[in-house]
């Protein structure tokens, strides 16, 4: 009985291999059906790259102004205030509080007399 099935074993293995590779070609990580997901991820990464490039350019400008040969006094003062928590005596500080929420008593309609 097994002698008759022997020639079909390699054929069945090859058919299973072709089926597996076909499924992976369609639904795998780089398959034909995952194209829109890859394009969405690419657009997201390009936007992230643009944001990082802008941040890097800003940081490079700040570092350039903080070098000892071209020291920007304004930027140095700003950084010292932020890092050390310093305040100039000539600065005017305005405290802004959140607006109070109206109470239930002020929301009642006026009473008729």
pLDDT value, residue 109: 54
Asked whether residue 65 carries a pLDDT value surpassing 90, the answer given is: no
Tell me how far CA of residue 63 lies from CA of 49, 54, 56, 57, in angstroms: 21, 14, 10, 10
Asked whether residue 71 carries a pLDDT value surpassing 80, the answer given is: no
- pTM score, two decimals? 0.46
Tell me how far CA of residue 54 lies from CA of 22, 42, 50, 51, in angstroms: 43, 18, 6, 5
Asked whether residue 32 carries a pLDDT value surpassing 50, the answer given is: yes
**With contact defined as beta carbons under 8 Å apart, do 86 and 80 qualify?**
yes
Cα–Cα nearest to 66, from 54, 58, 75: 75
- Average pLDDT estimate for 45-73: 88
Q: What is the mean pLDDT of the chain?
A: 81
Beta strands in 30-97 (DSSP E): none
């Amino acid at each position: 009985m097994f002698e008759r099935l022997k020639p079909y074993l390699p054929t069945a293995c090859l058919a299973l291999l072709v089926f597996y590779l076909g499924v992976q070609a369609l639904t795998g990580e780089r398959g034909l059906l995952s194209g829109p997901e890859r394009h969405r991820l690419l657009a997201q990464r390009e936007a992230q790259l643009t944001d990082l490039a802008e941040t890097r350019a800003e940081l490079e400008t700040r570092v350039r102004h903080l070098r000892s040969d071209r020291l920007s006094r304004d930027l140095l003062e700003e950084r010292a205030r932020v890092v050390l928590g310093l305040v100039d005596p000539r600065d005017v500080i305005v405290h802004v509080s959140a607006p109070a929420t109206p109470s239930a008593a002020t929301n009642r309609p006026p009473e008729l007399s």
